[in-house]
Amino acid sequence: MLQSGGVIAYPTEGVWGLGCDPFNEAAVRRLLDLKQRPESKGLIIIAASLAQVERWLTELDDGQREACAATWPGPYTWVVPAAAAPAWLRGQHDSIAVRVTAHPGVQALCNAFGGALVSTSANISGHPPACDVLELKQQFGDGLVYILPGQLGGDGKPSEIRDARTGIVLRKR
């Protein structure tokens, strides 16, 4: 499904997520349309390992990189400089948000796909994130082609987001 440009729903640490291939512009646009989210906001990249997000960490200095790595795997997302990332991923920003997950199901998904995925909470923009399959179906109806079976990690909330350049917390857990 991911290799062919599909958008899937899957359980993460805290809420259900929507994901797709970050390098497939059409897939990312489908995801944005499904969420009714403007491209200008940018998206999060989720991975199973540090190696899968290496390409987005190249503009960090050693201290910034170590700060990110110290929180992974886990529910911590870092905004990193990425002016070269495609606009469909970074939106109006010169950065992109990345996270290495501790959720075994998401790790398996990223590894089976062969790399990092776009990951955003499964909700229509402005609505609460889906916490179960019923909520997914209520929000998206037939718009979701595939829902990966599995369990939420038990966190009950989205990841914390920090700016890797400044260390400032942009969204608390």
Indicate the number of domains in the chain: 1
Q: What is the pLDDT of residue 98?
A: 97
| 18-22 own/partner pairs: CB under 8 Å, 24+ apart | 18/118, 18/119, 18/120, 18/121, 18/122, 19/46, 19/109, 19/117, 19/118, 19/119, 19/120, 20/117, 20/118, 21/113, 21/117, 21/118, 22/89, 22/116, 22/117, 22/118
Q: Model-level pTM? A: 0.92
Q: Which domain range does residue 112 map to? A: 8-171
Residues 13-64: pLDDT tens digits? 888 999 999 999 999 999 999 999 999 999 999 999 999 999 999 999 999 9
In-domain check, residue 59: yes
Q: What is the pLDDT of residue 170?
A: 95
- CATH at residue 143: 3.90.870.10
Flag whether pLDDT at 142 surpasses 90: no
Q: What is the pLDDT of residue 173?
A: 78
